[in-house]
């Protein structure tokens, strides 16, 4: 199979919750430094959580990003400016918590720095729960790229490019288009960005042909 993902110089992972995971996955899928997005559950102790048996876990998104294009500091600023982290979100238990999972001591230090920066600027205390390197459980297929899947004609053009659903879910182009359909980014920006993905000529041709033929 062809590799239709943007190549990354410095690949890192960020995991966070900010309410229902459909919207945040669409929002973060638009940024050029983001390589892939996925929805899931983390932060709790319930074994093998699902959407219906989430237990004490939280709906989260996990993104892999190229830190040479989009820094962890950038991601955290977007994160804390995109939801109300001061508000008590326990109306449905822990499902919609403001939750940040850090994956290294460097991420922990950066989170403390950006959190303090935000609190000083806004004069409020962030209530985000911060945990260290917890297991991430992917959500069921229907919760990945939720908004893109609401366009069946477009999906008919996209899915044949991929070996299976996971391959589709983890693709950069699916992340971008899932953002586009929610007005997070423009189709022309995606077409322009593909030139910087370091794809082979064949891979780039396949993507551009699909974007040319896709129907919404």
Summarised one tens digit per residue, pLDDT across range 141-170 is 999 999 999 999 999 999 999 999 999 999
pTM equals 0.95
Place of tokens 């004490």: 56
Collapsing DSSP states into helix, strand and coil, what is residue 159? helix
Q: Where are the beta strands (DSSP E) in the chain?
A: 11-18, 34-42, 58-66, 98-102, 129-132, 137-138
Residue 115 is given by DSSP the state: H
From the candidates 2, 13, 20, 129, give the one annotated as an active-site residue: 20
Which among 21, 3, 23 is positioned nearest to 136, based on CA atoms? 21
The tens digit of pLDDT for each residue in 164-192 reads 999 999 999 999 999 999 999 999 999 99
Question: Chain-centre distance of CA 98, in angstroms?
Answer: 15
Q: Which pLDDT does position 88 carry in this prediction?
A: 79
The tens digit of pLDDT for each residue in 80-95 reads 999 999 987 777 789 9
Element (H, E) at 212: helix 201-213
- 20: annotated active-site residue: yes
* Domains of the chain, CATH where assigned: 11-141 (3.30.1060.10), 145-213 (no CATH)
């Amino acid at each position: 199979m062809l590799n239709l993902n943007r190549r990354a110089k410095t690949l890192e992972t960020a995991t966070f919750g900010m309410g229902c995971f459909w919207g945040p996955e669409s929002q973060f899928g638009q940024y050029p430094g983001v390589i892939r997005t996925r929805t899931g559950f983390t932060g709790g102790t319930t074994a093998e959580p699902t959407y219906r048996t989430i237990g004490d876990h939280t709906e989260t998104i996990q993104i892999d990003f190229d830190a040479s294009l989009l820094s962890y500091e950038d991601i955290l600023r977007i994160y804390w400016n995109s939801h109300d982290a001061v508000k008590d979100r326990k109306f449905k238990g822990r499902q919609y918590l403001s939750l940040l999972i850090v994956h290294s001591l460097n991420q922990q230090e950066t989170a403390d720095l950006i959190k303090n920066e935000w609190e000083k600027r806004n004069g409020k205390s962030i209530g985000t729960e911060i945990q260290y390197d917890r297991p991430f459980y992917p959500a069921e297929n229907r919760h990945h790229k939720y908004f893109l899947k609401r366009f069946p004609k477009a999906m008919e053009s996209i899915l044949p490019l991929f070996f299976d659903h996971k391959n589709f879910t983890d693709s950069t182009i699916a992340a971008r288009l899932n953002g586009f359909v929610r007005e997070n980014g423009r189709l022309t920006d995606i077409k322009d960005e593909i030139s910087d993905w370091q794809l082979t000529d064949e891979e780039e041709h396949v993507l551009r042909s699909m974007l040319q033929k896709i129907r919404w």
